[in-house]
Amino acid sequence: MGFNILVTAKKTIDYTVNIHVKQDESGVESDQVKMSMNPFDAIALEQAIRLKEQGYADQVRLLTIGPSSSEDVLRQGLAMGADDAVLIESETELYPLEVATCLKSYLNQYPHDLVIMGKQAIDNDCNQVGQMLAGMMGWPQAVFASSIENKTDEWVVVREMDRGLETLQLTLPAVITCDLRLNEPRYPTLPNILKAKQKPITTEQLSARCDLPENRPHLIRVTSPKQRSGGVMLKDVEALSHKLKELGYVR
């Protein structure tokens, strides 16, 4: 008998878009900008769908937290192969701990055997939700997964680290976050896009899952990184040594 998978997704500015900071430095320009599913989340969804196709899972549910406009990301995921979707509406941009708290509340009411998510969202690069959720639920976790394989009653996950590859063995329920090299997400076919319009999306309000504290972090400003100065071409090692001494880096 298979199990149920919950995949989380976030609507972000498409990774191909050149980001521009607003003139008032209140954030980045998002009006009239192409938006799409966070690419790491698309990898997570692809992996969940493959597990179902291999007969390990019975159901793949996609969940996002965001404004009502996030429904198009859910429809994209349904067209890829998710069975149903959940939209937890929030006009407020949540911080990782708040997202993890919301997901914990959902899992307590609607148990799932496996949570698969992208290792991070490309708009903030926090890389915290998966680890926080696993800690809150008391579940084993494997982050930065580049390979997921079933071994009878256990799952073997290979994860990428700075010093090489680490192989972990875990039992369900568990949380797994996905890295780029895990797979290549499929493109939805036209028939599946049409079918996705008939698949159910359940909508909830954020207040039903968690209460936001009054003393939340406050965004002061967003600025573009300083432009780097051009490099200097040196003809040989002697010139390099002289330049380093001139700049005070060596004596």
For residue 65, give the nearest of 109, 111, 97, 34 by alpha carbon: 97
Mean pLDDT of the chain: 91
Q: For position 214, what pLDDT does the model report?
A: 84
Q: For position 110, what pLDDT does the model report?
A: 95
In a domain, 26, yes or no: yes
In a domain, 251, yes or no: no
CB contact at 8 A, 25 and 223:
yes
What percentage of the chain has pLDDT greater than the value 90?
Answer: 65
Would you give the distance in Å from CA 54 to the centre of its chain? 23
Q: For position 159, what pLDDT does the model report?
A: 92
Q: For position 1, what pLDDT does the model report?
A: 55
What percentage of the chain has pLDDT greater than the value 70?
Answer: 100
- The tens digit of pLDDT for each residue in 34-75 reads 889 999 999 999 999 999 999 999 999 999 999 999 999 999
Lookup: tokens for 182: 């895990």
Compute the average pLDDT of residues 178-187.
Answer: 93
In a domain, 247, yes or no: no
Q: For position 28, what pLDDT does the model report?
A: 84
Q: For position 247, what pLDDT does the model report?
A: 85
Give 203's contacts (C-beta < 8 A, 6+ positions apart).
68, 86, 87, 88, 89
In a domain, 235, yes or no: no
- The tens digit of pLDDT for each residue in 130-160 reads 999 999 999 999 999 999 998 877 899 999 8
Q: For position 98, what pLDDT does the model report?
A: 93
Q: For position 114, what pLDDT does the model report?
A: 96
In a domain, 239, yes or no: no
- What's the number of CA atoms in the CB half-sphere (13 Å) around residue 228? 3
Lookup: tokens for 175: 């949380």
Structural domain total, the chain: 1
What do you get for the CA distance between the two ends of the chain, in Å?
70
Name the band, by pLDDT with cuts 50, 70 and 90, for residue 108. very high
CB contact at 8 A, 93 and 117:
no
For residue 104, give the nearest of 86, 85, 130, 124 by alpha carbon: 130
Q: Evaluate if residue 17 carries a pLDDT over 80.
A: yes
Distance separating alpha carbons of residues 127 and 113, to the nearest angstrom: 22
In a domain, 83, yes or no: yes
Q: For position 29, what pLDDT does the model report?
A: 83
CATH number, domain of 11, equals 3.40.50.620
HEC readout, the chain: CCEEEEEEECEEECCCCCCCECCCCCCECCCCCCEEECHHHHHHHHHHHHHHHCCCEEEEEEEEEECHHHHHHHHHHHHHCCCEEEEEECCCCCCHHHHHHHHHHHHHHCCCCEEEEECCCCCCCCCCHHHHHHHHHCCCEEEEEEEEEEECCEEEEEEEECCEEEEEEECCCEEEEECHHHCCCCCCCHHHHHHHCCCCEEEEEHHHCCCCCCCCCCCCCCCCCCCCCCCCCCCCHHHHHHHHHHHCCCC
Name the band, by pLDDT with cuts 50, 70 and 90, for residue 186. very high
By residue range, what is the domain housing residue 39? 3-222
- Do strands 141-151 and 154-161 pair parallel, antiparallel, or not at all (unpaired)? antiparallel
In a domain, 167, yes or no: yes
Q: For position 83, what pLDDT does the model report?
A: 95
In a domain, 10, yes or no: yes
Compute the average pLDDT of residues 5-20.
Answer: 91
